[in-house]
Amino acid sequence: MWIPSPLYERAPQYWLFLGLFLIVTSTYLALEMHRAYLFGGAIVGLACCAWSAMTFWRRSINRENDQEQTTESLENA
């Protein structure tokens, strides 16, 4: 399945937004209803934030490697 480039580039930001949204929502639900929502929502929210950071970090490393390979191939040509 092909994802348009603008959506693909913004995926880490979507995951970060989702994680922060889950943390805030679970905190609100824990205060208003039951404390079990806090643990469930916070764990899933933190996992989304960690996934966002890992995705952004891996993409930045791959971009640096691609730029180095492009520079080296241009020098060798």
The CA distance from 15 to 69, in Å, is 29
Q: How far apart are CA 44 and CA 60, in angstroms?
A: 24
Asked if the structure places residue 3 within a domain, the reply is no
pLDDT tens string 32-68 = 888 877 888 899 999 999 999 999 999 889 888 877 7
- Total of domains in the chain: 1
Residue 34 sits in which domain range?
17-76
Amino acid at the residue 16: L
| Predicted model pTM | 0.75
Task: Give the integer Cα–Cα distance in Å for 21 and 75.
Answer: 47
With respect to residue 28, please indicate whether it lies within any of the assigned structural domains. Answer: yes
